[in-house]
Amino acid sequence: MIPNDFPPVVYVPCTAVAETGTVNVTLRKTADGRTALLAYSALDRLRAGAGDQVPWSLMTIPDLQRVHDETPYDVLYLDLRIPERARGEVPA
């Protein structure tokens, strides 16, 4: 369920976009084993939270649902700061 005050578009970390235009979002594992999708409400928040060099894709709420349908995630975190030491770790 998406809250009423959720932004209409979010920046989502992804792997490099393929030549076909396909975007592979970056999913991460939480400490308790859940699969998480990170989303950021503004580009400066993505850079502060995930790093300056991370590729990203701008997504709408329906886009997030399509991602979930294709690659289910358990939780979506908005504007989460990833510790710098963990930014280069291989995600889930």
**59 in a domain, yes or no?**
yes
* Full residue range of the structural domain in which residue 70 is found: 9-84
d(CA 45, CA 72): 24
pLDDT at 4: 83
pTM as predicted: 0.85
Give bridge partners of residue 59 from the DSSP assignment.
Answer: 10
Number of domains in the chain: 1
pLDDT at 88: 66
pLDDT at 63: 93
The residues, any chain, with a CB within 8 Å of residue 65's CB and separated by 6 or more, are none
Mean pLDDT of each 10-residue bin along the chain, 92 residues long: 85 80 86 95 95 92 93 94 75 53
pLDDT at 65: 93
